[in-house]
């Protein structure tokens, strides 16, 4: 499954092209869908004040940021950290747009050129829950992720919450892969898997289900002109001697 980085930013406003800047970046590392604790977090001096509306969202004062490093001071550490990973972001276009602008101001290539891929959990959620609210808070409520400590936005906290949301969003499709990835030695060659550890319920078909199955097989056999594999296998079996 590899290395994934869940990323979030806070900004001075909504428009990177209009001169708004990143003031906080938080990253949480997942390895085989497990938290590693190898996180990355910076507050940044944007060389401008936050808009009033933005201040109400993130609560990070302009004074607090005055002595913090600028994006250019930490850019190499950030890029080294995310290099080659799948990046998971909620509403990725927003954060990637800001990251691209910061990199452009430094004369550097776009963010996507440093990472393996960018996955947008907002797009995933809209596909899974069409017509519903899919903000991070709404998804936390829907998926049972505890966000009781989230009174204001904060990049690292939001990244941690989003990591839990992402794991829950994808749990169904990846459950077996998660179990396999957790087995010691997985990813280092063939793994001997003891299937006795899995307890699967066996449901036998009833008469009507068997009849319906037989009808489908008959229709397929008719459509193929009697050349279905199961008919051919039956014909090819040696007849017993009388």
Q: Which of 58, 153, 199, 213 is catalytic?
A: 153
Alpha-carbon distances, residue 133 vs 112, 144, 223 (angstroms): 28, 15, 47
Nearest to 123, CA basis, from 151, 88, 98: 88
Using alpha carbons, list the distances in angstroms from residue 65 to 70, 96, 141, 154. Answer: 9, 22, 32, 14
Instruction: Say how many CA atoms lie within 13 Å of 121 toward its Cβ.
Output: 30
* Cα–Cα distance measured from residue 107 to residue 79, given in angstroms and rounded to the nearest whole number: 14
Q: Report d(CA 121, CA 30) in Å as an integer.
A: 15
Q: Is 213 a catalytic residue?
A: no
Catalytic residues: 153
């Amino acid at each position: 499954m590899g290395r994934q980085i869940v990323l979030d930013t806070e900004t001075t406003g909504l428009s990177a092209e209009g001169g708004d800047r990143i003031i906080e970046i938080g990253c949480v590392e997942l390895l085989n869908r497990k938290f590693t604790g190898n996180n990355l977090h910076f507050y940044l001096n944007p060389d401008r004040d936050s808009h009033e509306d933005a201040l109400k969202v993130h609560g990070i004062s302009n004074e607090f940021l005055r002595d913090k490093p600028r994006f250019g001071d930490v850019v190499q550490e950030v890029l080294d950290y995310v290099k080659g990973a799948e990046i998971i972001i909620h509403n990725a276009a927003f954060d990637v747009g800001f990251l691209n602008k910061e990199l452009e101001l430094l004369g550097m290539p776009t963010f996507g050129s440093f990472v393996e891929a960018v996955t947008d959990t907002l797009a995933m959620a809209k596909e899974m829950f069409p017509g519903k609210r899919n903000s991070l808070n709404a998804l936390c409520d829907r998926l049972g992720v505890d966000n009781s400590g989230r009174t204001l936005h904060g990049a690292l906290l939001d990244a941690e919450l989003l990591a839990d949301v992402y794991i829950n969003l994808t749990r169904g499709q990846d459950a077996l892969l998660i179990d396999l990835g957790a087995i010691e030695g997985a990813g280092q060659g063939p793994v001997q898997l003891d299937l006795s550890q899995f307890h699967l319920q066996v449901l036998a078909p009833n008469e009507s289900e068997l009849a319906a199955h037989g009808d489908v097989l008959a229709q397929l056999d008719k459509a193929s002109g009697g050349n279905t594999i199961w008919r051919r296998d039956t014909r090819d079996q040696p007849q017993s001697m009388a």
